[in-house]
Amino acid sequence: MNKLISIEEAIDKIKDGDVLMIGGFLSVGAPLTLIDKLVEKGTKNLTLICNDSGFVDSGVGKLVVNKQFSKVIASHIGTNKETGRQMMAGETEVILTPQGTLAEQVRCACYGLGGFLTRTGVGTAVQEGKDVIEVDGVKYLLEKPLHADFALIFAQKADKYGNLVYHGAAQNFNSVMAGAATTTIVEVLEYSEEALNPDVAETPGVFVDYIVKRGA
């Protein structure tokens, strides 16, 4: 299968009501071109799973400002005042999740695990509605996997098979999200018809469905 497609083809696959995982950390390592095209299309009633909600003028924050999410699951929203405003006004459901817990929930989905136990959040608002399991006299929260319809991620380079290489900290949530969605679309700066050295590739192509070349 030819995984290299146009950005228009990629965004047309996303429909109203879909659940999206979007890589990045305060826009670093975010698939900025895919995000901008999704803003342009205006797809609505989406659920966002992301480390943060970006800034009002950058990254996933543009989608927030455009009111394209009905739910946001993130570890913090403090850099985007519009997310907070929508939350307080009851316009968007916002679920704040400790960053380590969020990462592990995504990882569980990636590796087919049923969930994990953590002490983070025990006895706080984070505990509400969750199962509390006691092990050797210690209470833990059962945190379940987070799955998505689409993962929109960013990488420095991809080969035609979808094997990916990242640049430094831009890897952040991208690599683990690649395997946690039904369909993964990666935006890359560089594309190669030649296979990457498997010792170099940080995400195997089996996790990647489609590739979009930035600027193509």
What are the chain's domains? 7-213 (3.40.1080.10)
Amino acid symbol at 5: I
In angstroms, rounded to a whole number, what is the distance separating the alpha carbons of residues 14 and 12? 5
Tell me what pLDDT residue 20 has.
Answer: 98
125 half-sphere exposure, CB direction, 13 A CA radius: 4
In angstroms, rounded to a whole number, what is the distance separating the alpha carbons of residues 23 and 153? 5
In angstroms, rounded to a whole number, what is the distance separating the alpha carbons of residues 158 and 81? 35
0.85 surpassed by pTM: yes
**pLDDT, averaged across the chain:** 96
Confidence of residue 60 (pLDDT cuts 50, 70, 90): very high
Tens of pLDDT, residues 89-98: 999 999 999 9
Q: Among 93-97, 149-153, 204-208, 212-216, whose mean pLDDT is lowest?
A: 212-216
Tell me what pLDDT residue 48 has.
Answer: 98
Q: Give CA separation, 69 vs 55, 117, 140, 201, 207, in Å.
A: 15, 29, 31, 33, 25
13 half-sphere exposure, CB direction, 13 A CA radius: 19
153-177 b/e (C-beta count within 10 Å ≥ 16 → b): bbbbbbbbbbbbbbeeebbbbbbbb
pLDDT reading at 1 higher than 90: no
* Look-up of token digits 């949530």: 173
pLDDT reading at 198 higher than 90: no
Tens of pLDDT, residues 143-194: 999 999 999 999 999 999 999 999 999 999 999 999 999 999 999 999 999 9
Q: What is the C-alpha radius of gyration for the chain, rounded to an integer number of angstroms?
A: 17
State which H helix or E strand residue 18 sits in.
Answer: none
Q: Which two tokens stand for residue 121?
A: 């959040």
Q: What is the mean pLDDT of residues 89-116?
A: 96
* Look-up of token digits 């136990």: 117
Tell me what pLDDT residue 76 has.
Answer: 94
Q: What is the mean pLDDT of residues 58-78?
A: 97
